[in-house]
Structure 1
Amino acid sequence: MGTWPESRARNRTLQILRSATEGEYGVLAIICYNIEHLTALVRAAEAKRSPLILQLFPSTVKQLPTLAWAAAAAVKSATVPLSLHLDHAQDEGQIRDIAANLPFDSIMVDMSHYDHDENLAKTKILTRFCHENGIAVEAESGRINGGEEGIADTGSLEALFTTPEEVEDFLAAEVDLLAPSIGNIHGDYGPAGPQLDYQRLADVNRQIAGRVGMALHGTNDFTPEVMRRCIQNGTAKLNINKLILECWNVHLGEHAREPLMQLLDGGMAVLQAEVERWMDVCGSSGKALTCRKRRVKCDEAKPSCNRCSKADRECRYGQLAVAEPSDAGSDPANLSDREDVSQRKGYGSRSVASPCAIQGPRESSTEHPTEHEAFDNARTAFSASPGPLVPPDSSDSFRIGVPGAPSHNGRIDADDDEGLPNLDFSVSPLAASQIPLLNISPFEWYDLLAQDAISHIQRVNDATNGDPRWRFDESTLSRAQSGAPARYSSSHPGQTNADAAQELPSLDYHDDEPRPLAAHDSISKPWNTTSSIELSATDMRFLRYYTEVVGPILDLFDPVQHFTKVVPHLAMRNTGLLKALLAVAARYMSLDATAGAADDTVPVSASPDSTLLQGNSLPDSGLGQVPAQIATQYYYETLQYLSQTLLYPSYADSDEILATAILISTYEMFDTDPATRSGNWERHLRGAFWIQRSQDNDGESIDGLRRAVWWAWLRQDIWAAFRAGRPTLTIWRPRRRLEDLDSDELATRILYICAKCVEFASSSSADSGAGQDRDIRIKIDHGNKLLRSLQDWYDILPLSYKPIVVAAGVEDELSAAPTVSSCERDDRYNTATTDDRGRSAVFPSVWIHPPNHAGAMQMYHFAKAIVLLNQPTTGGLSEYRQRQKRLSESVNMVCGIANAYRDKESAVAFVSVQAVFAVGLFVQVPAKQDGLLYTLEQMLKKSKFPAPGLVAELKQVWAE
């Protein structure tokens, strides 16, 4: 913890108030009673770029301790200075317990209900204890009369004004903040309003002389003028309760008949607007500086902040001008006291038509944890222990899944699990190294993307010796620097709202029945365009490539083809989704090693809708740009859109962010060039997982698009986990029995079983050094259970999963037929292909139709092979031979299915690469090794699978 002087220097509350005192403005310290209050307050602070102190009463903490952890998560993730303060703590035991175990930055030790000497003695002891725990202390000198919700009523005691002697006594007790009594009271002031002794306040301020900060309690019924006078006389911390929160209560009372979520959203909108108004009054708006260079919260040190000094970087601050009122009448400074009170009492008459009412042009950049995110972060941290704060990104107590939960998965979750600890791998704790990137919100997911992108831009620019490749302002990727558009407009000036209101076509399906795209309607979403986006020629080329080539890869296991048929239409109204889609298409096109120079360049014409990137485009060589460059450009435009749009709560829970997240993950998977890749696929894949978890999205979601997104994500996670030797991330368990699935749903079920098998393989690697007989037996039983699950799946398959039988001789002709490029030299893998006919004949073609069923069979053999390869055996030579036989069957089937699909079947080829590589790990016969290499090379060419090192890796394994 360090000494208190060291902790004091970095205490959040004291840092905020020191800056306020130096800048002569006030900081609101507002009471939060629930998660909606917390959300609205943080939104307001982000929108106004204002510091803010979040306050909780002890009674609230006692009833809802997780709110403290939620607030701590908000403090940590915000881009403006926030702190967490416990107000009016009057129970000594509770103060000690909270100081030792909850994440508060400061506590008001309120012993004012005792006489002066006892107040001082108790305060001194508790101050020492709080300081030992790194917590600043506020104390009340004198006695402020009255009471309100959360504060014990002192009405029966005499009000005591603060005296100079009391000030010195409390300073000697080493408190950090002093709350003087100057005629202020807790609760309402009555018809006469506040009658404050401003001269006494000024005298206290002079006596303090900057040694501690000064707080003011009892602000109910304050007018803007009263508030300003208090600030002018030295008050830095302004405790707020009813003055601002009353608007929330009024709104809920007047709109009680509205649907619950609409009621809460409207209340948060009204509350946010009121907080922003008082931030303007107090002068704190625009005072939260953010270092643009590093996109982090700034300690405001001059001439260079601490973070930039450590990194030896130029320190630049965001210049956010506080919005000027459009007319004098709207300035709170020009409101008379009577007008202000009248307006404040009439909150219910304000027009708040919808939760989007505050999201108009006046809105500045906002970010906040959503209710789900805040409680998830709170639950994760709070479940660790009642000990000191463990930040969500360092907790090692996060457990996924629920041991003992009801099972519906056949043998994988059968009742015979009891004797097998850790049998259901999804309930095993993840490794500590995996925790930081699992428990994240959409905002933290975006920050991962932006940080990697900024690092890439800076790395490339620094390497070009003054001639930067990118003319891209990386600060535009910062959420802190991005203003929220009131509503994105189409680039087509002639399109009217009437045009935009036309009914969208029937594009989404469920249970094979078409339905209108109502669930994905973009008209009512403020972060979508009001009409279809107009595409440039470059955009159109990549969009067509996506629908013809990339979409089918993602849709292999989706018979409705959401990524091909639905997502492009959603993208026509959503700039971020469109840019992500085009980025994926351009990146995949750039993987085509056989394309000629003419095909590698794309004529560039500016996208008319790209209003966010003026001056930020890639340099044009004059002949056009290669797809890899354009892909990176589209990718950065996607991040710019996200930086502005994540501030909308509805966007963070939308279909569009799900589709965008999986496309970004796909882009990262395709981006394998270390010289150009902008991020870490593993990290971003985990971010996509958490976004889906925050929306309760899984493989059995009712909405077809959401199901498609989940299965597409799982396919990527299976491969990433297999290559990294880690467990898969999914914590979901299917609820439907195998017997209840149709033929296409059986294809996705094998993906789930495969994920379990990959998890088994990762645990085998982790436990390889255990060497205990009991561990081996448990591992064997685990493997047998998975093999039985695979067999159960296989036994229930319909005829469409069986190979097409062909006449003798035809099969040989099909398998030996050369592909279009079979007589060319494949420079990508440096392998001569003149003997293709002989090499392909090693594994006769096995054609299964439709393609998704063929892909499912590939995943079945992939899963079976990795279990057999990682399951221990004690059965001797006989069992070894039996296992080799089963593995050989999988090799023949996998390579046969792969050989049956031609150049245009890139979707099946994509899956075949994974399966061929996995089963090839055990092949020992040279002839089969040669035939398998040929098949793998062909699949890599057909699929453009972004892993060119697989061939060399197989050869190395075989050579060992």
Structure 2
Amino acid sequence: MNTPPALFHSPSDHSRIDPHVPSFASHSTLSPYSILQHGTSPGLRASSAPLHERGKADLFRYYVTNIGPAFDAYDPNKYFTERVPSRATLSPPLLELILAVSAWHSNATKGEPQGSAKLDIDIEQLASAGMDDDSLDVALLLHYFVLNMDGKIILESVTSNPTVAQCNHSRNEVTGLLSRSLDASHDDVLWARLRQELFLAVLHQIPLTMDVSRSRLDHLTRDRDDRTRANKMLIELLATVQYCFGDDKNTATYDRLLESCSTWMTTNPSSFTPVMICRRQERDVFPDIWLLNDCVAAGLQYFHLARILLIVHNPRVPRLGRAGQEAARWIDAQTKNDVEIICGIANSISEINPMHITACMAISVVGDRFTDADQQHALLDMLVKTTSAYGLSTELA
């Protein structure tokens, strides 16, 4: 196994100063401290800031701390948390959309009505306003976020106190822009959309409604890091969902999915080995499962969720007689164990994090198999806190 690169440079290599090499400090007319002593502070001009109202600034911060991380999930690129807010400060249409979604999301997580105030956003106007393609991809993702989570589609007008948002167009009103192909999307937007569609498909137990070319996915998963490994399992899970909730019930397809998922698990690198697995107390429902990073956590959760679906939808399982009863008991034991693992992974990271979204998906599939009161309470708590944190509807779970 290769030795990881050192975190600190060796002093023997870098701390020696060659007296014959002129230093920057010796030739500089100003030391860093002389700027403080003699220079004039450039100051901060309020007119240069993109936001001048505290209410809007609070909504912008709300996006950075609450919505962006949910879209990024396990992705270390932090595209939605860092790059999108930076781009929004230079793009008024994108900034207004972020404020609208933040207002809607804030109300949703608090259980408050969306109210009568609206934000003046028209998804078609974003393109005509000169928004670049990457920003437009983000706008479409945010647009569908509200559409999918609230069952509606577009945010319309703004008031001087933008604390609430309202959607009022039906899902059926889809234009050419809204049906824009995902193959043309920014990479990070594509992965976020796939995760979003996965959540909806599993919660509603319906096939996926989006199509991404296999060549694009193969191109995006050609690296060998943990993030790519997790995304490969995401692709396998999406294919599993399509089989389980779609029309293709070919046993050959099932066998191929089963083999692909098994191969993914058995060929994982050492980084996917848990650091620790234990139960804190005897009556704890979920185990402590400590993993190296969020990418590993997501990948393993996706594997166990795919395993749940493949077990439940196994076309060869006997359904009648004693064999059917034994199979039902085996399915219950296996799927409940997988749910406990998925929930344990999420809880071991922190009290609430994007991995709890995957946990809610698992609960929605086989949560009704848990009959113990402590288990049921723990699962319900998982659903409630995830809904409260992310504004996602888990009523079907």
TM (norm. structure 2) is 0.71
Distance 1:898 1:645 in 2: 37
- 1:638 aligned counterpart, secondary structure: coil
Question: Residue type matched to 2:69 in 1?
Answer: P
* Compared CA separation, residues 947 and 882, structure 1 to 2 (3 A): same
CA positional deviation for 1:738: 6.8
Q: Which residue number corresponds to residue 914 of structure 1?
A: 361
**Which ranges in structure 2 are unaligned for 5 or more consecutive residues?**
1-44, 154-164
Of 745, 766, 775, 2:228 maps to 745
CA deviation after TM superposition for structure 1 residue 577, in Å: 0.9
Q: Retained in 1: the 8 A contact 2:274–2:290? A: yes
Relative to its length, the structure with more helix (as a share) is 2
Is 1:854 the counterpart of 2:309? The answer is no
What are the residue-to-residue correspondences of 1:444-463 with 2, within 5 Å?
Answer: none
* Cα distance in structure 2, aligned partners of 1:716 and 1:883: 28
The 3-state SS of whatever aligns with 1:549 is helix
Given the alignment of the two structures, is residue 716 of structure 1 paired with residue 196 of structure 2, yes or no?
yes
Tell me the residue number matched to 2:118: 633
* Corresponding residue for residue 784 of structure 1: 255
**1:664 and 2:153 equivalent?**
no
Q: Distance in 1 between matches of 2:289 and 2:176?
A: 36
Structure-2 separation of matches of 1:872 and 1:645: 47
Letter in 2 for 1:915: A
Letter in 1 for 2:208: P
Q: Is the 8 A contact 2:290 2:345 kept in 1?
A: yes
Contact 1:552/1:563 (CA < 8 Å) preserved in 2? yes
Q: Deviations over 1:338-395 (max 9, x none)?
A: xxxxxxxxxxxxxxxxxxxxxxxxxxxxxxxxxxxxxxxxxxxxxxxxxxxxxxxxxx
**Partner residue of 1:933?**
379
Is structure 2 residue 368 aligned with structure 1 residue 887?
Answer: no
Matched ranges for 1:521-920 at <5 A: 533-593=50-110, 628-629=114-115, 633-634=118-119, 637-639=120-122, 642-647=123-128, 651=131, 654-671=133-150, 677-680=167-170, 688=178, 690-693=179-182, 696-697=183-184, 706-722=186-202, 723=204, 725-733=206-214, 734-736=217-219, 740-763=223-246, 766=247, 779-805=250-276, 811-813=279-281, 841-873=284-316, 876=323, 883-903=331-351, 905-920=352-367
Displacement of 1:683 in angstroms is 6.7
**Matches of 2:350 and 2:172, distance apart in 1:** 31
Q: For residues 591 and 554 of structure 1, what CA distance do their matches in structure 2 show?
A: 17
Residue 879 of structure 1: how far off its partner (Å): 6.1
Q: Is 1:665–1:685's contact at 8 Å kept on the other side of the alignment?
A: no
Q: Indicate how the Cα distance of structure 1 residues 578 and 755 shifts in structure 2: closer, same or farther if over 3 A, else same.
A: same
Following superposition, the deviation at residue 686 of structure 1 comes to 10
Report if the CA contact (8 A) 1:902-1:942 is conserved: no
SS in structure 2 at match of 1:557: coil
Cα drift, residue 714 of structure 1: 0.9
Query: Structure 2 counterpart of 1:661, which letter?
Result: L
Report if the CA contact (8 A) 1:658-1:691 is conserved.
no
Quickly say closer, same or farther: Cα 1:684–1:850, change in 2 above 3 A: farther
Q: Deviations over 1:389-422 (max 9, x none)?
A: xxxxxxxxxxxxxxxxxxxxxxxxxxxxxxxxxx
> Cα 1:756–1:537, aligned 2, differ >3 Å: closer, same or farther?
same
State, as a whole percentage, how many aligned pairs show the same letter. 21
Name the structure 1 match of 2:395: 949
Asked if 2 retains the 8 angstrom alpha-carbon contact of 1:898 and 1:912, the reply is yes
Cα deviation, residue 537, structure 1: 1.0
- Cα 1:874–1:645 shift into 2, 3 Å: closer
**C-alpha separation in 2, matches of 1:686 and 1:908:** 33
Alpha-carbon contact 2:336-2:370 (below 8 Å) kept: no
Contact 1:728 1:756 survives alignment (8 Å): no
1:25-54 per-residue CA deviation (whole Å, 9 max, x = no partner) reads xxxxxxxxxxxxxxxxxxxxxxxxxxxxxx
**Aligned to 2:180, what secondary structure does the other structure show?**
helix
**Alpha-carbon spacing, 1:565–1:692, altered in 2? closer, same or farther (3 Å):** farther
Query: Distance between the aligned counterparts of 2:252 and 2:200, measured in 1?
Result: 26
Sort the Cα spacing of 1:893 and 1:948 in 2 relative to 1 into closer, same or farther, 3 A. Answer: closer
Shift of 1:890: 1.2
Name the larger-Rg structure: 1
Given the superposition, is the C-alpha separation of residues 803 and 931 from structure 1 closer, same or farther in structure 2, using an over 3 Å criterion? Answer: farther
The one-character-per-residue Cα deviations of 1:591-643 (angstroms, maximum 9, x if unpaired) are 2338xxxxx7xxxxxxxxxxxxxxxxxxxxxxxxx8x348x623xx221xx44
One-letter amino acid of the structure 1 residue matched with residue 224 of structure 2: L
| Deviations 1:432-489, CA, capped at 9 Å, x for gaps | xxxxxxxxxxxxxxxxxxxxxxxxxxxxxxxxxxxxxxxxxxxxxxxxxxxxxxxxxx
Question: How has the CA–CA distance of structure 1 residues 746 and 556 changed in structure 2, closer, same or farther, with 3 Å as cutoff?
Answer: same
Query: What code does the residue aligned with 1:697 have?
Result: A
The structure-2 alpha-carbon separation of the partners of 1:493 and 1:666, relative to structure 1 and needing over 3 Å to count, comes to same
One-letter amino acid of the counterpart of residue 781, structure 1: A
| Structure 2: distance between partners of 1:758 and 1:557 | 21
Instruction: Go from structure 1 to structure 2 and tell me whether the alpha carbon gap of 1:592 and 1:870 turns closer, same or farther (over 3 Å shift).
Output: same
Match of 1:646, SS? Answer: helix
Whether the aligned pair in 1 keeps the contact of 2:97 and 2:121 (CA below 8 Å) is yes
Q: How far apart are 1:782 and its partner, in Å?
A: 1.4
Task: Spell out, residue by residue over 1:265-321, the C-alpha distance to the aligned partner (whole angstroms, 9 max, x if none).
Answer: xxxxxxxxxxxxxxxxxxxxxxxxxxxxxxxxxxxxxxxxxxxxxxxxxxxxxxxxx
CA contact (8 A) 1:868 1:887 kept: yes
TM-superposed CA distance for 1:787, in Å, is: 1.5
User: SS at 1:592's partner residue?
Assistant: helix
Aligned-residue offset at 1:750:
1.8
How many residue pairs end up in the alignment? 334
Rate the CA distance shift 1:887–1:494 in 2: closer, same or farther, 3 A: closer
The 1:662/1:805 distance shift into structure 2, 3 A limit, reads: same
Match in the other structure for 2:28: none
> Taking structure 1 as reference, are residues 797 and 912 closer, same or farther at Cα in structure 2, changes over 3 Å only?
same
Structure 1 residues 684 and 917: CA distance shift in structure 2, 3 A: farther
- The AA in structure 1 aligned to 2:354 is A
Aligned partners of 2:210 and 2:312: how far apart in 1? 22
Report deviation, 1:845. Answer: 3.0
Q: Is the Cα–Cα contact under 8 Å of residues 364 and 396 in structure 2 kept in the other structure?
A: yes
Matches within 5 A, 1:422-571: 533-571=50-88
Hey, what's the Cα distance between the residues in 2 that align with 1:664 and 1:710?
14
Q: In structure 2, the residue corresponding to 1:846 is in which secondary structure?
A: strand
CA distance in 1, matches of 2:337, 2:88: 44
CA drift at 1:798: 3.0
1:743-763 CA-to-partner distances (Å, cap 9, x unmatched) read: 111122222222111110122
The question of whether the paired residues in 2 share the 8 Å contact of 1:669 and 1:946 is answered with no
Return the offset for 1:940: 3.0
Aligned runs of 1:53-64 on 2, under 5 Å?
none
1 or 2 for the larger relative contact order (CA 8 Å, sep ≥6)? 2
| CA drift at 1:697 | 2.4
Cα root mean square deviation, aligned: 3.6
CA distance in 2, matches of 1:493, 1:536: 11
How far apart are 1:730 and its partner, in Å? 2.1
Q: How many angstroms does 1:929 deviate by? A: 5.3
Shift of 1:926: 3.7
Contact 2:104 2:166 in 1 (8 A): no
Where 1:735 maps in the other structure, the secondary structure is: helix
Distance in 1 separating the partners of 2:46 and 2:346: 50
